[in-house]
Chains A and B, each alone.
Chain A
Amino acid sequence: MTVAWAGPYATMLLADLGAEVIRIENVNIFPSMSRGMQARPSREFIGAQIAEVGGYPGREPGERPWNRCPFFNVHARSKKSVTIDIRSPRGLELLLKLAAISDVLVENNPMETLEKLGITWERLSAINERLIFARMPAFGNSGPYQGYRALGTHLEAFLGQTALRRYPDLDPSMNNTTFSSDFLGGTSAAQAVLLALMQRRKTGRGCLIEVSQAENALALMAEAILDWTENHREREPLGNRDELALQGCYPCRSDGTDKWINIRISTDAEWANLKRVMGSPEWADNPDFNDANSRRSRQDDIDIQIAEWTRDADAVELSRELQAYEVTAGPIIDHASAFEDEQLKDRGFFVPLSNEDCGEHLYPGAAWKSEQFPVQFDRGPVRLGEDNEYVYLELLGVSSDEYDRMKDEGALGTEYRL
């Protein structure tokens, strides 16, 4: 019962590990930010959005837009989908029946959403004592901010990431939204479910998991937090720079393209190697640049020179050259070049997947390779209600008469009724 990003990413990881994951959806409720921002967005609406959000295939919403949204489809592989209107008594009964025959229920709605429907841990555990119920509230199920709402980007603001993540010379209002706490939140929920499965083997019982996404994402701020708790030092925004090393993002855009290279020099040996790759230019022979601290304090001057040198280079070629000299460097990889990247091609990272509403495309693949249990994608991004018959008739034992009736009444289906 997951929405937006963090929850669906958790169940994607579990599906990648081989779990049978069934999404519970509802044709009478459209949770914004799951299968799109709106159920039936106009061409103009999605046209005004960046490709990550509004990049439906060919920029067309299509007949069933909810099966075509990139920020949903990317985590929906290998999953099944059933539509149950859990606001009706029969729908709720069916949901509880599904919980009774499942190992895990994962949800990341606002806390009150399930509570209002009477879906509580007490009730679920009474039905199935082996059930693991993972909840992912923004702040938690207790405390002053119990029930408070947030998306990842608001948690990042709350946790200090947003104030620190910026160009040091620009105001934070120039920031864009980022969602690292969704990334870690989803990952942590998957971890917690696996830990609970390990524990269940010993105790025979499931448990309730609470991933407070705010608390969980404190890990992403660990260095800044420790600097404060240990040294009472409030860190300053560094942009792309570093506390110890000379590092930055330099242009490779003589042909007018938006290409860049990241370079990091932390030791004197690396500095010597960088100078060698640059062809030992005169400016770099400055004895002021011979130790890490002075390089950092003179970084403004050094950056101008490095940027001058990188300007005409190809970011990938130059990275390769620097890496051959044991200098840490890498191109900024945009969305087009990712699909051309040699490393990802060599490892077969992108995988062709399709569904009937989108056709075939390359999708980002698995995050790990396993020798014994290679991650396999059973199918492409699941369409709304694609597995209604399987879940209602086979798993829940609903009669085909009742199934047809519910379908006619609009309690289930494959299209949003709003």
Chain B
Amino acid sequence: MLEGTKVVDLTGTVPGAFATKQLADFGAEVVKIESPLGGDPVRRLPPYRHDGGDASLRSAFFSYLSTNKKSIALDVAAPSGFAIVSRLVESADIVVDTFTSRVAGQLGITYEALKDLNPDIIYASITPFGRTGPYSEWRSCELTLYGMGGEMYSTGIPEREPLKMAGSVAEIESGAVAAVAILGALVARTTGLGGDSLDISCYEVQMSGIDRRSSALLGFQYTGEITPRRIGWSAGGFPAGVYPCQDGYFEISAGPPFWSRAVEMMGNPAELLDPRWTEPGANANPALKEEFDEIFLTWALSRTRREIWEAAQAAHVFVGPLNSIQDVTDDDHFRERGAFVEVEDAGGRLKMPGRPYLFTEGGWSLLHPAPRLGEHTDEVLKELAIPTRDADILRNAGVIL
């Protein structure tokens, strides 16, 4: 879908890698420019491959984040290295980096400089806090990004410290939103509106994020109240939250207005058809909740996650079984639809999530696995018509690998 679109990828973080993955996986030619000394820091992130394979593909996470990309190992800070990057920029559509303004300034990578090379270039900078402002040079990680930008404050229980999500949720979301901004600029450019400079702050992506954060911020503006940490479903009422069952746990959200559906899911037990359950205020009554929980737990504990989920779907009740990761990777629905793919790269074979979404025409495709560090250096230099002799000099000087 993006065939013919060229991207110079100077990113070195998870948000950056996930943003350019969205471009590479839909047909853009994404050329990663990595340091000859160890390459993209994402190559060092867990989980790791268990044995053998190319050392630069030790990170399974990198292999997932780098499908369909090319890699050249090149020292951007060296003048001769910068000259090669400049040549690539001249024929590129998009440049993406994750440098803070100080580093970008040192390297000479600014919108002005890139525009001189290529007036229609789209330049996207994806940084933790944006290119300006008092935090612009601050360091960041998933935990601090979620703690500052995301809704960590109200995640967890009141008696304890705020809690992050599992994995790198905030960083992945930030990269995904960055890809929207880049694709938006690309659509504009294709329409003849020229290039653009995009300053994407992961902090602001989180602050405007739909996972409770933006709503809670607006709720504060409307009421002066801070959304506290609490157990269960944001909207209150019951049954709601995570309950145990025969073989684990499930999550349900069936407070008002879904009460009658929940009762139907349980087979309309006579004791729950009593009008006192539907009187005004009943669903906010802690004593009634306690009484209900006893009935509900008896029902749930004699059923499996699967049985409860099926009963819920039949009654149009929102339920999700608490799966293990093995449950997820072995799931029939995902298997039947081909949600996972097996990829073989220089690090070995690896099963990973495949297409994020489907189109009736065109779409996600896996043309190349993640590259070894510098796998495409020679190929790209050849395309730029840089003589082998010159390449050898650069290689001996440590500028390329």
Contacts and interface: CB of A to CB of B under 8 A. Distances in A.
B394 interface: no
11 contacts: A8-B210, A70-B221, A153-B251, A195-B362, A222-B65, A227-B60, A264-B144, A323-B139, A335-B220, A363-B221, A366-B208
B257 A212 contact: no
A241 B226 CA distance: 26
A226 B61 contact: yes
Main secondary structure of the interface of B (DSSP, over half): mixed
Contacts of A370: 181, 185, 196-199
Given A50-B228, A175-B242, A9 B210 contact: yes
A260 interface: yes
Interface stretch (B78-86, B152-160, B267-275, B376-384): B152-160
A83 to B, nearest CB: 21
Interface in A188-206: 188-192, 194-199, 201, 203, 205
Given A121-B360, A198-B183, A225-B352, A335 B153 contact: yes
Given A329-B144, A370-B196, 14 more contacts: A52-B234, A58-B222, A161-B169, A165-B165, A222-B168, A223-B47, A249-B143, A249-B164, A346-B133, A347-B201, A365-B208, A369-B200, A372-B185, A372-B197
B211 A180 contact: yes
B218 A162 contact: no
A50 to B, nearest CB: 5
B359 A17 contact: no
B253 A333 contact: no
A330 interface: yes
Interface stretch (A90-98, A289-297, A337-345, A403-411): A337-345
A288 interface: no
Interface string B189-211: 01001111111110111011111
Interface stretch (B29-37, B69-77, B101-109, B328-336): B328-336
Contacts of A144: 332-333, 336
Nearest to A201: B190
Interface in A180-235: 180, 182-184, 186-192, 194-199, 201, 203, 205, 207-212, 214-216, 218-231, 233-235
Interface in B217-250: 217-223, 225-236, 240-244, 249-250
Interface residues of B, number: 155
Contact of A230 (B50, B154, B207, B242): B50
B214 A221 contact: no
B143 A247 contact: yes
A194 B319 contact: no
Contact of A235 (B242, B325, B340, B353): B325
A335 B194 CA distance: 38
B357 A343 contact: no
B38 interface: no
A158 B309 CA distance: 10
Interface in A266-298: none
B321 to A, nearest CB: 6
B214 A188 contact: no
A157 B324 CA distance: 9
A229 B340 CA distance: 10
B313 A149 contact: yes
B323 to A, nearest CB: 5
Contact of A70 (B222, B340, B353): B222
Contact of B253 (A154, A326, A346, A361): A154
Contacts of A225: 325, 328-329, 352-353
Contacts of A260: 147, 153, 161-162
Given A149-B318, A176-B155, A74 B218 contact: yes
A271 to B, nearest CB: 14
B226 A334 contact: yes
